[in-house]
Amino acid sequence: MTQSTTPSQPTASLDFTDPQYYFNRELSWLEFNYRVLAEGLDERTLLLDRLKFLAIFSNNLDEFFMVRVAGLQQQVEAQVHKLTPDGRSPMEQLEAIAQRLRPLLQEQDQVFEHQLRPQLAQEGVYLLTYLDLNQEQRQYLHDYFEAHISPVLTPLAVDPSHPFPYISNLSLNLAVLVKDPDTQEELFARIKVPRVLPRFIKLPKQLHQGGEVEAVWTGIPIEQVMAHNLESLFPGMNVQECYPFRITRNADLSVEEDEADDLLLAIEQELRKRRIGGSAVRMEIQATMPDTVRLTLMRALELEDDQVFAFESLLGLDDLMALAGLPLPHLKEPGWTPVVPLRIQRMLEAAEAKHKLDRDDGENIFDLITQGDLLLHHPYHSFRSTVQEFITQAAEDSQVLAIKMTLYRTSGDSPIVNALISAAENGKQVVALVELKARFDEENNIQWAKKLERAGVHVVYGLVGLKTHTKITLVVRQEGEHIRRYVHIGTGNYNPKTARLYTDLGLLSRRDELGADLTDLFNFLTGYSRQRSYRRLLVSPVNLRDRMTALIEREISHSQEGGTGRIVAKMNSLVDPKIIAKLYEASQAGVQIDLIVRGICALRPGLPGVSENIKVISIVGAFLEHSRIFYFHNQGAEELYIGSADWMRRNLDRRVEAITPMDDPQIRQDLQEILGVMLADNRQAWELQPDGSYIQRQPPAPEQSRSSQKLLMEMALQQGGL
């Protein structure tokens, strides 16, 4: 991981509060989402995977509008004039977002309609419009509408006696114009497209589309089926026109713990508001909608022109995920089966060979951890056979006295939560810190929190003013006359489903200092402890910022003294101005810095005299890069850390986070190898430019393509786990 260092020439002291040294957070996020879209535009990506990336792009934008754009619009309404580090007001940010976003949406719209839709047809997947249908197909869909769709629909009139209906968040709707044949009066109605029915109605095999390629799937969007069969909903009236539209609303929660006597109840109430939604922040329409209808909707929803987005193709392309899941393996990358790490594999095989039913008999996962730390790398390593096995064995092991863990996000049918319930029923002391404010997982977490409490688990909802984001588990075990503590410290959530989609790291260890630190941290989270120091852990908001700053400053000192200064850091987002300023100082001192930042990056690399020694790449692939790794050369006494925190103000100052040092030499070597593979990626890696744009690496001929994610899969298979 080392590189030769050439100190920069001394430069005049610079003011790192100057906006010119920072990229805007929101625009940087849009650049990340463009990189997601680019995978869908890239002809090297297989067809159904291209649909998947277009769907992810749309889904990401929904959340962006519900939270980030909604927040900016609220600031404008409240006449907030505070500038961001890059010097923009809320209104300037909204204008810049619209300017950057509209071309991306147009590109997505055009590529889907004029490239991917025809390519799907060439593969026998026919997503039709109503005009494409023959009479037999239309009759089938009419009968289907009458039997399955019409009974669910509720047309809502809009007139002096019927006020404009509330349009729920992310709902797809039809604006319908009908005419009274007696009075010739034109009337307006709204019909909501029901979410309980599939977005794409599949035709039976005997009615598949005919064409050059034999059909394997033929279907049509449900809103078109509705639009062409509305007469039965308005008997005696003449249906004139029908236009789809989609609404996005402010969906961010506004709960502060110190303002709520009962946090659980307060968040449940806020969730009910979210289901309905706050003020509208975006309307998506088809370009064919006439101005009269568009203006009617805008007035009713209190929207301005810049909040309306028109499309030639379908609205709500996040629903393309249904087509991306079609069983056509030649049109998508093969699924990945996670590998069981070799040490754990041998344990499981031995247990199976001996038909062991009692985990107290023979080697178990605690014995393995006692032999040495275990590094876990998901999804390359199986979550079920590692983290889940660790917690399941702890729940069943008669020697385990207590289990304590944090739950930020978990799946709806979580085996982790079930294991905690089983542990409590087995008489163990079980503590679960459930973060109720995990955005868009609040409802899920509330349900599990109630279930855990009913089973006798001690459930804690976090600290006032701090969101608990750390990913930690502590298992206390009686071994003879000694109490031993086993820990899991990770970068990702205890969620078996996302563990197959997100890249994350975890450490299983029995190191005494880590066990003692986690004990202190849980006391901080559940009691009145005000722990201000930890033996090995870097914890926010206690010491993480100061320790990271000190580690950067140490590399600066080494470089200034003629030694090697080297930093490699991988994270989701880099936004914190103080950390960025310190990295600029390090670059000026000659420290060579490589940053792997998946999403938002406010740092400007490659500025002469400021950041010419800093390189930033982003990797976007089949898996969502979610792990955090921090490497410091330290004159050859290399230090590596993993944990839950990005370099963002919220992670460093307003969340509870934990970063752990990696003390095992082999694990440090493995982490350096992982970083090296990522830095050498020339397929999924994008390089951040000084102007804020990203350029995707392209392997020059005859150089082979190197996808870090594919290489890490191959390494996992070859090594039986790193």
Q: For residues 475-483, give the mean pLDDT.
A: 96
Q: What is the mean pLDDT of residues 339-358?
A: 74
Q: Domain total for the chain?
A: 3
pLDDT tens-digit map of 371-395:
999 999 999 999 999 999 999 999 9
What is the pLDDT averaged over residues 292-318? 94
State residue 212's pLDDT score: 72
Buried b / exposed e over 156-175, threshold 16 CB at 10 Å, is bebeeeeeebebebbbbbbb
- Spatial neighbors of 52 by CB under 8 A, at least 6 apart, are 40, 320, 321, 324, 332
Element spanning 504, H or E: strand 502-509
- Residues 499 and 402 reside in one and the same domain: yes
The answer to whether residue 291 sits within a structural domain is yes
Mean pLDDT for the stretch of residues 629-634: 98
Residues 413 and 367 in one domain: yes
Q: How would residue 361 be classed by pLDDT, with cut points 50, 70 and 90?
A: low
Asked whether 2 and 594 are in contact (CB, 8 A), the reply is no
Least confident of 266-270, 659-663, 716-720: 266-270
Half-sphere exposure of 590 (CA within 13 A, CB side): 17
Domain boundary among 331, 361, 377: 331
| Structural domain contains residue 237 | yes
Inter-CA distances, 262 with 267, 269, 406, 500, 589, Å: 9, 11, 20, 35, 51
Q: According to the model, what pLDDT value does residue 411 have?
A: 61
Give the mean pLDDT of 613-631.
97
Same domain, 686 and 596: yes
Residue entry with tokens 């089949």? 622
| Domain span holding position 35 | 25-331
List the structure tokens of 697.
Answer: 């690496």
Lookup result for tokens 């499981």: 348
User: What's the pLDDT score for residue 267?
Assistant: 42
Can you give the pLDDT at residue 271? 47
Instruction: Establish whether 469 is a catalytic residue.
Output: yes
Are 428 and 467 members of one domain?
yes
pLDDT of residue 161: 62
The predicted pLDDT at position 263 comes to: 43
pLDDT band at residue 546 using 50, 70 and 90 as cut-offs: very high
CB-based contacts of 10, cutoff 8 Å, min separation 6: none
Q: For residue 253, is pLDDT > 80?
A: no
Whether 89 has a pLDDT exceeding 50, the answer reads: yes
Closest listed residue to residue 577, CA positions, set 606, 601, 611? 601
Same domain, 155 and 220: yes
DSSP 3-state of 67: helix
Q: Is residue 153 part of a domain?
A: yes
Better pLDDT: 456 or 579: 579
The interaxial angle of helices 25-41 and 47-63, nearest 10 deg, is 160
Q: Are residues 43 and 112 in the same domain?
A: yes
Q: Are residues 147 and 36 in the same domain?
A: yes
Determine the Cα–Cα distance for residues 633 and 26; give it in Å rounded to an integer. 32
Residue at which a domain ends, from 303, 331, 359: 331
As a whole number, mean pLDDT of residues 477-486 equals 96
Q: Is the pLDDT of residue 401 over 50?
A: yes
Label residue 183 by pLDDT band (50, 70, 90).
confident
Q: Using the 3D structure, point to which of 310, 331, 352 is the last residue of a domain.
A: 331
Catalytic residue among 208, 377, 378, 469: 469
- Beta strand pairing status for 639-643 and 566-571? unpaired
Task: Tell which residue, 447, 394, 445, has the closest CA to residue 424.
Answer: 394
How many angstroms separate the CA atoms of 216 and 213, rounded?
9
Read off the pLDDT band of 569 (50, 70, 90).
very high
Mean pLDDT (the chain) is: 89
pLDDT over 60 (residue 8): no
SS3 365: helix
State residue 164's pLDDT score.
81
**Region 517-545 average pLDDT:** 89
**Is residue 269 over pLDDT 60?**
no
CATH number at residue 120: 3.30.1840.10
Nearest to 505 by CA among 293, 689, 662, 706: 662
- Predicted confidence (pLDDT) at residue 414 exceeds the cutoff of 90: no
pLDDT number for residue 81:
87
Name beta bridge partners: 467.
655
- The verdict on 317 and 373 lying in the same domain is no
pLDDT of res. 641: 98
The confidence score (pLDDT) of residue 210 equals: 65
Q: Residues 185-190: contacts with CB within 8 Å, 24+ apart?
A: 186/240, 187/157, 187/158, 187/159, 187/237, 188/157, 188/158, 188/159, 188/296, 189/155, 189/156, 189/157, 189/158, 189/234, 190/155, 190/156, 190/158, 190/164, 190/165
CB 431 within 8 A of CB 460: yes
Provide the whole-model pTM.
0.91
Residues 6+ apart with CB under 8 A from 155: 176, 189, 190, 191, 233, 234
Residue 447 CA to residue 594 CA, distance in Å, equals: 42
In this structure, are 323 and 403 located in the same domain?
Answer: no
Q: Is residue 401 part of a domain?
A: yes
How many C-beta neighbours within 10 Å does residue 561 have?
A: 11
How large is the average pLDDT for residues 668-692? 97
- For every residue of 296-327, DSSP letters joined together read HHHHHHT--GGGEEEESS-S-GGGGHHHHTSS
Q: 262 and 350: one domain?
A: no
Residues 6+ apart with CB under 8 A from 156: 162, 165, 189, 190, 191
Query: 3-state class of 620 per DSSP?
Result: coil
CATH of the domain at 502: 3.30.870.10
Distance CA 717, CA 552 (A): 36
Least confident of 33-47, 265-279, 450-464: 265-279
pLDDT for position 9: 45
Looking at residue 115, what DSSP letter applies? I
Task: Identify whether residues 250 and 371 lie together within a single domain.
Answer: no
- Confidence category of residue 222, pLDDT binned at 50, 70, 90: very high
Strands (E), 71-214: 125-127, 156-158, 172-179, 186-192, 200-202
| pLDDT reported for residue 353 | 67
Confidence of residue 463 (pLDDT cuts 50, 70, 90): low
The rounded distance, in Å, linking the Cα atoms of 226 and 223 is: 5
Per-residue pLDDT, 258 = 40
Reported in sequence order, the residue ranges of 198-307 that DSSP labels E, i.e. its strands, are 200-202, 217-221, 238-249, 280-286
DSSP 126: E
Please state, in angstroms and rounded to a whole number, the distance separating the CA atoms of residues 454 and 10. 64
Give the DSSP letter of residue 499: G
Residue 17 lies in a domain: no
Structure tokens at 146: 């009458």
User: Of the given ranges (139-153, 344-358, 537-551), which has the lowest mean pLDDT?
Assistant: 344-358
234 assigned to some structural domain: yes
What whole-number percentage of the chain has pLDDT above 90? 71
Q: Determine the angle formed by the axes of helices 90-111 and 25-41, rounding to 10 degrees.
A: 0
302: pLDDT confidence band, cut at 50, 70 and 90?
A: very high
Q: Is 338 exposed, middle or buried (0-12, 13-18, 19+ CB in 10 A)?
A: buried
My answer on whether 321 and 388 are in the same domain is: no
pLDDT of residue 274: 45
**How many degrees, rounded to 5, is the angle at CA 171 between CA 139 and CA 121?**
50
3-state helix, strand, coil in the chain (%, to 5): 40, 20, 35
Cβ-count burial of 115 within 10 angstroms (0-12 exposed, 13-18 middle, 19+ buried)? middle
The average pLDDT across 243-247 equals 96
Q: Residue 7 domain-assigned?
A: no
3 in a structural domain: no
DSSP state of 381: B
Stretch 201-205: mean pLDDT: 93
Would the pLDDT of 244 be above 90? yes
